């Protein structure tokens, strides 16, 4: 296989448009907490492109300069409404790319990434062009280094959306011209660089004739520029949640637990693996009956809608309380590493964060970044009787959530995050840290920890009895005397149960 000369300015000048894919590697999707059903994209100006060796400038007051190694496709032919079987034929070359960004400017253009990913010279490509038609597009590797340390590595064999699908999909509605560039997504590991860091990206693999091929290392240094953005539009702004998102974890971002962080006083869990398995095997309707038998009538969190209908959850309650918005209190308690962020950051596997928002639907109390953080930490679910922002992205995550409604406003419109791990009210139910929460398609129930074992075991017994009763009804027996069982039916049930136990012992 013959490789072209080193990529030059002519390639950049020929790029009429640059299109980037949001999510395309399963490893990255797992970090983000959602796997897209279809590809989604954002446009980048051609002026954002640069060559290997160019300096990548971080403006003044920008903290989070992110970098992402990617495979870049350069169109070699015109493509308009092409089928997936012929789409790859229209790709001319493959090279490496670094889809770097200024995360501090993502907030005003979230999703479009216009300013955060569109700065002049922030997206280098190169250094060598590989002829696409001599490559197997499913057998390429992309790797990224920061100061010589390997940060990212993945294979195009894992792609959620293969390259040909991207070309065919985009060409349905827009004409792809020779020279247009598609950035095909980044794998897990993307993080933050500092001025002085050297970033390198390489794409390699094996050509169709078996020859090893490589783009060589795309190498660029991050530098601090003298540019100060004038206050004519959005200025750099970042909070701890965005730092965690950009760096990949609170630890990498250097965000330590504060003195008031809830994890210092986490309630002990009463759930053993066996008890949890029993609770997962029974329905909330059955648990509600058992709670009522013990005089517990008010253990239902009501009036909420799930992001994942039909989800089954079992976990231990952690609590967060909001108070009504007041400007002076929001100034002192709403910003920075507030109670909401501390509560989310303190979650551990099996925890269910339950929020008291007074049933106020006029703002969000949960959004996609914090839901993602809870998922990454292994939390079981999030429940709020307030609104949920970013309802679509949150619904696409693996972690289930319940809320009163979807609402686009930030929490400061109606709430001040106030206290963690106190007794709260949510959806009409009192919830204490350490309570066991069980949820399914019938609803959400709260079980006091001292009752969990007996309620779970009796619920399992009840469901075995009801399954036996259902079999008798299916045989044609009337429900009178059978449901509930009278003495005669009870004797028959116990005889059957004893016989079954004897056969399985």
How far from chain centre, in Å, is Cα 241? Answer: 13
Q: In this structure, what token pair is assigned to residue 160? A: 């959620």
Strands 381-384 and 401-403: what pairing? parallel
Residue of 447, 446, 303, 306 lying closest to 382 (CA atoms): 306
Q: What's 21's DSSP letter?
A: E
Q: Is 43 annotated as a binding residue?
A: no
**Which of 185, 193, 190 shows the shortest CA–CA distance to 248?**
190
Write down how long the chain is: 505
Is 369 flagged in the annotation as binding? yes
Instruction: Determine whether the annotation assigns residue 390 to a binding site.
Output: yes
The helix/strand/coil state of 327 is helix
Q: Are 184 and 171 in contact (CB under 8 A)?
A: no
Measured in degrees and rounded to the nearest 5, phi and psi for residue 242 equal -70, -30
Query: Does 458 show up as a binding residue in the annotation?
Result: no
Burial of 200: CB neighbours in 10 Å, binned 0-12, 13-18, 19+: buried
Is 370 annotated as contributing to ligand binding?
A: yes
Q: Which of 275, 249, 447, 434 is nearest to 352 (CA)?
A: 434
- The answer for residues whose C-beta is within 8 angstroms of residue 273's C-beta and 6 or more apart is none
- Binding site residues for substrate, as ranges? 367-370, 389
Binding residues for Mg(2+): 390
Known binding positions = 367-370, 389-390
């Amino acid at each position: 296989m013959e490789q072209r000369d080193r990529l030059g300015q002519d390639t950049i000048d020929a790029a009429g448009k640059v299109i980037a894919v949001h999510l395309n590697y399963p490893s990255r999707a797992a970090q983000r907490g959602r796997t897209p059903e279809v590809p989604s994209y954002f446009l980048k100006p051609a002026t954002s492109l640069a060559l290997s060796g160019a300096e990548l400038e971080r403006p003044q007051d920008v903290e989070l300069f992110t970098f992402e190694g990617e495979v870049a496709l350069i169109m070699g032919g015109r493509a308009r409404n092409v089928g997936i079987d012929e789409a790859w034929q229209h790709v001319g070359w493959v090279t490496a790319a670094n889809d770097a960004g200024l995360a501090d400017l993502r907030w005003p253009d979230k999703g479009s990434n216009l300013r955060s990913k569109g700065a002049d010279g922030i997206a280098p490509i190169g250094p060598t062009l590989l002829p696409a038609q001599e490559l197997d597009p499913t057998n390429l590797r992309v790797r990224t280094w920061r100061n010589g340390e390997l940060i990212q590595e993945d294979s195009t064999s894992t792609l959620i959306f293969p390259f040909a699908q991207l070309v065919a999909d985009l060409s349905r509605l827009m004409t792809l011209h020779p020279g247009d560039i598609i950035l095909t997504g980044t794998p897990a590991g993307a993080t933050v660089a500092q001025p002085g860091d050297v970033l390198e990206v390489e794409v390699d693999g094996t050509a169709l004739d078996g020859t090893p091929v490589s783009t060589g290392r795309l190498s660029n240094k991050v530098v601090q520029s003298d540019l100060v953005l004038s206050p004519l539009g959005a200025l750099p702004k970042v909070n701890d949640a965005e730092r965690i998102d950009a760096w990949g974890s609170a630890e990498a971002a250097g965000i330590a637990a504060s003195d008031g962080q809830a994890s210092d006083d986490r309630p002990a869990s009463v759930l053993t693996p066996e008890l949890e398995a029993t609770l997962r095997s029974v329905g909330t309707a059955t648990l509600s009956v058992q709670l009522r038998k013990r005089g517990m009538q008010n253990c239902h969190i009501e009036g909420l809608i799930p992001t994942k209908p039909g989800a089954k959850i079992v976990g231990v309650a952690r609590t967060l309380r909001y108070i009504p918005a007041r400007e002076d209190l929001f100034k002192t308690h709403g910003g920075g590493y507030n109670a909401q962020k501390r509560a989310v950051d303190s979650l551990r596997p099996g925890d269910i964060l339950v929020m008291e928002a007074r049933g106020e639907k006029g703002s969000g109390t949960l959004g996609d970044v914090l839901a993602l953080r809870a998922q990454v930490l292994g939390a079981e679910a999030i429940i709020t009787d307030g609104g949920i922002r970013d309802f679509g992205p949150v619904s696409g995550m693996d972690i289930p959530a319940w809320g009163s409604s979807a609402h686009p406003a930030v929490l400061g419109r109606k709430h001040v995050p106030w206290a963690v791990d106190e007794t709260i009210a949510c959806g009409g139910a009192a919830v204490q840290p350490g309570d066991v929460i069980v949820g399914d398609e019938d609803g959400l129930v709260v079980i006091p920890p001292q009752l969990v074992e007996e309620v779970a075991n009796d619920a399992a017994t009840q469901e075995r009895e009801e399954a036996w009763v259902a079999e008798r009804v299916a045989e044609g027996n009337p429900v009178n005397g059978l449901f509930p069982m009278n003495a005669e039916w009870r004797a028959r049930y116990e005889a059957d149960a004893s016989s079954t136990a004897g056969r399985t012992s």
